[in-house]
Amino acid sequence: TACRVGKDLGAVRAAGWDLSAACSGFVYGAQVAAAFIANGTHRCVLVVGVEVLSRILDYADRNTCVLFGDGAGAAVLQATEIDDPATQPHIYSSHLHADGTYAKELWIEGPSMTYAPDRYSENWLERGAHWPKMNGKTVFKHAVTRMPEVAMEALDANGFTVDDVDLWIFHQANMRINYFAAKQLGIEDDDKVFNTIQRFGNTTAATIPIGLDEALKAGKLEPGMLVCIAAFGAGFTWASSLVRW
């Protein structure tokens, strides 16, 4: 996918690769981009979060098909000199985590090399192994724990408090998850939490860049703001970034 995007942009000399971290994918990708920029090997990186989930959903499974949507968002990260961290745009830090213990609580079993040497089989088609499966209760429990946890990790690492944050951009999996995450963090001002799930559904890796873009359009995101981003998704993966916009 990345190589095809590069071709369409005419960026045929740029490196391109796909990164899979489910709903945390954009934060993971932005951290990889920031690391490349910081070590001087790359000057400018395009990070894209994109999903076309409507083509892989089982529309008889109400646990999944009513939640997920299609979407895409992107950001350009580039090298810059920072004289005043309190006002100039930059990423303070990102924090990435994963625990494969819970991989089967939200996953697509096949097709997979698990079935090698046969890529496809009648067995997994009959079992519906090619459709996403989710244990909603387990996902909810971990999301409302991990997102506040990783958000606080970012704040603590940079000497900020919850009250210092001007805008919170959470992954858009479920409005109740975001409500509980905000409650866990002690966020008292609902206007500081920007949500888009009511419009677009869960677009997984695209929710964060879509949220940032929609917040800009709505006038909720302005230069100089301190923004905390937190995501949780399949794998399980979870991640956060603290950004000066």
Active site residue 23: yes
Closest CA to 142 of 189, 192, 177: 177
Distance of CA 222 to the CA centre of its chain: 21
Closest CA to 171 of 214, 231, 215: 231
Token duo for residue 166: 């001007």
Q: Which residue has the tokens 């009250």?
A: 163
Report whether 240 contacts 28 (CB < 8 A). Answer: no
β-bridge mates for residue 48, sequence order: 74
The single residue of 42, 171, 195, 228 carrying the catalytic annotation is 171
Report whether 49 contacts 25 (CB < 8 A). Answer: yes
- Residue 48, judged by CB atoms within 10 A of its CB (0-12, 13-18, 19+), counts as buried
- Residue 58, judged by CB atoms within 10 A of its CB (0-12, 13-18, 19+), counts as middle
Report whether 64 contacts 58 (CB < 8 A). Answer: yes
The CA distance from 169 to 171, in Å, is: 7
The single residue of 23, 42, 174, 178 carrying the catalytic annotation is 23
The CA distance from 7 to 16, in Å, is: 10
By annotation, the residues acting in catalysis are 23, 171, 202
